[in-house]
């Protein structure tokens, strides 16, 4: 495989952009990434998006954006893996550049979840679960995650309040990220008193939806060997793995087997272990997912992911800094775009551009993007020269 570097990054603020269309938010992020990369053209566009057919009545998003941002005649395609669509689009682009068939690609994650006339967001998000064997029974996507969290608490003896550090850390870090959806510090009391959504998941366990787009430009690593001013950032590891789509079909619903598989493959490809990871942008769609991800990737023992938060291990100065720009919980979760936001944020860390939430001397960063409640999981490891 030909090594690939990330040359430029771009993102929009995640918000309810009632004044901007799906086209416009995607264009904003794409142009920002192209400008950051100093690129006027790329060979291909890979778009990560989950909900545009349902919410925006629009398919064929690859070509839709190639048209809008002026990549006329160029190759373009959309990749979808529910909430892991962003990372899946990145991986498709990586494969194309690695193969030698193309020399550059723009990867765009974009999602507009508010202010449209299509499906309501709750039923649209439920398409990530199994339509025949989960959704048909009347359960929502939050409900599925609530069952997992309840079982985890029962199995390992944790209280709801033990999950508070994930949310508190995310909100604290988002205060310093101008692109974050929520700029509001919270404390343990506010976490515990928040409105219930699906017991035991309350509003502070759950990530907010939003409109957002993020983009990166990738090129063969050998082409940026001589780049000055900022470190060259390469994709050292990339892997994708799956599990049963319905939670009840999994051997162990409390173990993210696809996170274990994809992180194992990514570590091997990058020739690192979890101890080498300086910063980890994980997929805290719900606080339970943060705990399970830490466990499956080797940062905590089974049932002890929560402990890492309680022991102050997840802050920017902790042993395993997570959600350093706010995570899904406070930066926001525009589903198909989230995986690219994570990559953008790891790049920011490796560039040393994160100010108050900068992880000192970060050289190796990891991003993990989850589709469904653990069904499709992609892990990427980035490395600064």
In the complex, the smallest distance separating the C-beta of residue 124 from a second copy, rounded to whole angstroms, is 8
In the complex, the smallest distance separating the C-beta of residue 89 from a second copy, rounded to whole angstroms, is 9
Q: What is the distance, to the nearest Å, from the Cα of residue 73 to the centroid of all Cα atoms in its chain?
A: 30
**Residues composing the chain:** 385
* Sole residue written with tokens 């992020």: 29
In the complex, the smallest distance separating the C-beta of residue 127 from a second copy, rounded to whole angstroms, is 4
**Which residue out of 83, 297, 323, 354 is catalytically annotated?**
83
In the complex, the smallest distance separating the C-beta of residue 198 from a second copy, rounded to whole angstroms, is 20
| Residue number with CB closer to a second copy (53 or 326) | 53
In the complex, the smallest distance separating the C-beta of residue 167 from a second copy, rounded to whole angstroms, is 26
| Residue number with CB closer to a second copy (81 or 306) | 81
| Residue number with CB closer to a second copy (52 or 348) | 52
Return the DSSP state at 143: H
Using a 10 angstrom Cβ sphere, with 0-12 exposed, 13-18 middle and 19 or more buried, the burial of residue 180 is buried
In the complex, the smallest distance separating the C-beta of residue 90 from a second copy, rounded to whole angstroms, is 11
| Residue number with CB closer to a second copy (221 or 375) | 375
Whole-number Cα distances in Å, 13 to 54, 180, 181, 211, 317: 23, 6, 7, 8, 25
Residues near a second copy (CB under 8 A): 1-2, 21, 23, 44, 50-51, 53-54, 56-64, 66-67, 71-82, 88, 91-92, 94-96, 98-101, 124, 126-128, 130-132, 135, 238-246, 249, 257-258, 261, 371-372, 375-376
Give me 157's structure tokens: 């003896």
Pairing verdict, β 233-242 and 376-384: antiparallel
Query: What is the rounded distance in angstroms from the CA atom of residue 97 to the CA atom of residue 95?
Result: 6
In the complex, the smallest distance separating the C-beta of residue 337 from a second copy, rounded to whole angstroms, is 15
| Residue number with CB closer to a second copy (83 or 170) | 83
Based on the residue annotation, tell me whether 323 is a catalytic residue of this protein.
no
Cβ neighbours of residue 354 closer than 8 Å, sequence gap 6 or more: 176, 316, 324, 325, 348
Query: What is the rounded distance in angstroms from the CA atom of residue 292 to the CA atom of residue 314?
Result: 14
Based on the residue annotation, tell me whether 83 is a catalytic residue of this protein.
yes
Ranges of H-type helices in 130-184: 141-156, 164-174
| Residue number with CB closer to a second copy (243 or 281) | 243
| Residue number with CB closer to a second copy (180 or 343) | 343
Cβ neighbours of residue 312 closer than 8 Å, sequence gap 6 or more: 165, 318
Per-residue burial over 267-290, b if 16 or more Cβ lie within 10 Å, else e, is bebbebebeebbbbbbbbbbbbbb
Query: What is the rounded distance in angstroms from the CA atom of residue 287 to the CA atom of residue 353?
Result: 26
Give me 169's structure tokens: 């850390």
**Which residue out of 17, 333, 354, 380 is catalytically annotated?**
333
Query: What is the rounded distance in angstroms from the CA atom of residue 303 to the CA atom of residue 203?
Result: 23
Cis peptide bond N-terminal to 236, omega within 30: no
Residues classed as catalytic: 83, 333
């Amino acid at each position: 495989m030909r090594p690939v570097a990330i040359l430029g990054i771009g993102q929009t603020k995640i918000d309810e952009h009632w004044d901007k269309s799906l086209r416009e938010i995607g264009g904003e992020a794409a142009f920002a990434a192209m400008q950051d990369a100093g690129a006027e053209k790329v060979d291909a566009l890979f778009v990560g998006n989950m909900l545009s057919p349902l919410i925006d009545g629009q398919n064929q998003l690859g070509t839709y954006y190639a048209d809008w941002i002026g990549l006329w005649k160029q190759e373009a395609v959309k990749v979808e893996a529910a909430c892991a669509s962003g990372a899946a689009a990145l991986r498709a682009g990586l494969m194309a550049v690695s193969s030698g068939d193309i020399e550059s690609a723009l990867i765009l994650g974009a999602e507009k979840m508010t202010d449209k006339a299509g499906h309501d967001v709750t039923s649209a998000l439920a398409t990530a679960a199994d339509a025949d064997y989960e959704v048909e029974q009347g359960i929502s996507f939050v409900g599925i995650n609530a069952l997992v969290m309840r079982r985890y608490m029962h199995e390992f003896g944790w209280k709801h309040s033990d999950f508070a550090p994930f949310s508190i850390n995310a909100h604290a870090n988002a205060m310093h990220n101008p692109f974050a959806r929520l700029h509001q510090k919270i404390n343990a009391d506010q976490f515990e008193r928040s409105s219930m959504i699906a017991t035991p998941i309350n509003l502070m366990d759950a990530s907010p939806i939003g409109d957002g787009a993020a983009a990166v430009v990738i090129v063969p690593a050998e082409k940026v060997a001589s780049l000055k001013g900022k470190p060259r950032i390469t994709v050292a590891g990339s892997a994708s793995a799956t599990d049963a789509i319905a939670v009840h079909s999994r051997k162990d619903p409390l173990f993210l087997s696809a996170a274990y598989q994809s992180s194992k493959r990514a570590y091997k490809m990058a020739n690192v272990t979890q101890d080498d990871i300086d910063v980890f942008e994980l997929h805290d769609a719900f606080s339970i997912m943060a705990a399970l991800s830490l466990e499956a990737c080797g940062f905590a023992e089974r049932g002890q992911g929560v402990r890492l938060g309680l022991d102050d291990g997840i802050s920017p100065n902790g042993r395993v800094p997570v959600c350093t720009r706010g995570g899904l919980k406070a930066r926001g979760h525009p589903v198909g775009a989230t995986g690219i936001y994570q990559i953008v944020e790891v790049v920011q860390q490796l560039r040393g551009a994160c100010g108050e939430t900068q992880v000192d001397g970060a050289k190796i960063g990891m991003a993990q993007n989850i589709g469904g409640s653990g069904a499709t999981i992609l892990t990427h490891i980035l490395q600064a020269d």
